[in-house]
Every structure is written in C-alpha cells, then in structure tokens.
Amino acid sequence: MSADPLIAVLIGPGGVGKGTIAQRLTELDNGLWLSRSWTTRPQRPTETGSEYNFVDRATFEQAIAADQFLEWAEFHGNLYGTPLPKAPNNADILLEIEVQGAEQVRRANADAVVFLILPPSMEELEDRLRVRGDSDDHVARRLSSTPSELNKGHELATYVLVNDDVETVSREILSILEGLRLQRRNPSEKE
C-alpha cells in the first residue's frame, strides 16, 4: 500500500471550467485537498480574492529562490505556482494548473494522474473567456495560445474528458480516482 498521496492534476485551456470542476470535486470527495496557487496576476473584478494567493513579483521570486514551490510557470506574462503541498493527513492532492506546471509535476512524480479537460466547442470556450471580465486583448491572446496548450495537454494527459456538464465530468473524474486508490491499496490486483 502506497503512503504517498495521489496527485491529480486538472489541465485544459483557460475558460474550460477547470476551477468549477475542481471545486465540485472537493465538495463530492472530502479525501481530496485542493491546493491554492500563488499568482502575480492582478485580481479580476469577478473574483473574490480567495481564488489565489495574489502576490507581487518580488514576493513570488523570493519564494522561488527559497524553493517553496512544487512547480511554477510564467503564463501570459504572469507567474503562477503551487506552494509545496501541506495536505492534511491521508488526503489526496488536487491541482488546477497550466501545462508547463503539469509537466514539472509529472517529472517530479511519475504517478501523478493528469486530466485534460476539453471544451464542447471553441465557440463555447471563447464565450466563457469573455464573461470573466478580461480585456478583449487578453481574451484574444488566451485564445491564440489554446492550440499549443491543447497539443502539449494531449501529450501529458492520462485521461481526456469533455466538459459538457460539470456534474458529469466531475463524477467521471471521481470514479477514475476511486479506481486508482483501490489499485494503490491492492497493487497485486493491478493487472
């Protein structure tokens, strides 16, 4: 039986609904602990402030120098990072991050399970990006990097799921995680 927590990583283009799925997963499964990232991105008007630990670049860079991140990456001019996880005992770790960070997590932890979340269509993705309150320019930049994020995402993903419906996709993820937990408890039944 493995004592290490399972690390589940949600990746996918901005606007695909990773954050909503991550929240729903932690509501449905109290054995999952959602990491709160740090970012140098300014808070959006639509955000409450609890979405991230919003910090300035100097503070973020000090934390990098002090090796305080499991992974970090620069994405569209802002820094984002996962502080070294302090999950409660026996909890599995849930990360909602972009692909460069997911690559680092995978390199450090080959067992990390990576879920690529896809939008039902590119039109829907664009609509979802627009309602978040970012400028048109920012939305256009986010959309322009979507194809390369998706390519990298497909290379990294253990599972690929379409977010047609948050509840359905969350329950699919939980059933996969439950299977993985069982395998880890009974490694002899793997094959």
Compute φ and ψ for 133, nearest 5 degrees. Answer: 95, 5
Nearest approach, Cβ of 98 to ligand 5GP (angstroms)?
4
Query: Which residues 74-133 are close enough to bind ligand 5GP by CB under 6 A?
Result: 75, 80-82, 96-98, 100-101
Nearest approach, Cβ of 178 to ligand 5GP (angstroms)?
24
73: left (phi over 0), alpha (psi -120 to 50) or beta: beta
Nearest approach, Cβ of 23 to ligand 5GP (angstroms)?
13
Which of 20, 23, 26, 41 contacts ligand 5GP by CB under 6 A?
41
d(CA 95, CA 93): 7
Nearer to ligand 5GP, 54 or 174 (CB): 54
Which of 6, 9, 14, 25 contacts ligand 5GP by CB under 6 A?
14
Angle at 108 between CA 56 and CA 67, to 5 degrees: 35
Q: Do residues 25 and 32 lie in contact, with contact meaning Cβ atoms separated by under 8 Å?
A: yes
> Is 40 one of the binding residues for ligand 5GP (CB under 6 A)?
no
Nearest approach, Cβ of 73 to ligand 5GP (angstroms)?
4
Query: Which residues 129-188 are close enough to bind ligand 5GP by CB under 6 A?
Result: none
Q: Do residues 184 and 92 lie in contact, with contact meaning Cβ atoms separated by under 8 Å?
A: no
Q: Do residues 9 and 97 lie in contact, with contact meaning Cβ atoms separated by under 8 Å?
A: yes
Nearest approach, Cβ of 81 to ligand 5GP (angstroms)?
5
d(CA 27, CA 6): 18
Where along the sequence are the contacts to ligand 5GP (CB under 6 A)? 14, 18, 37, 41, 71, 73, 75, 80-82, 96-98, 100-101
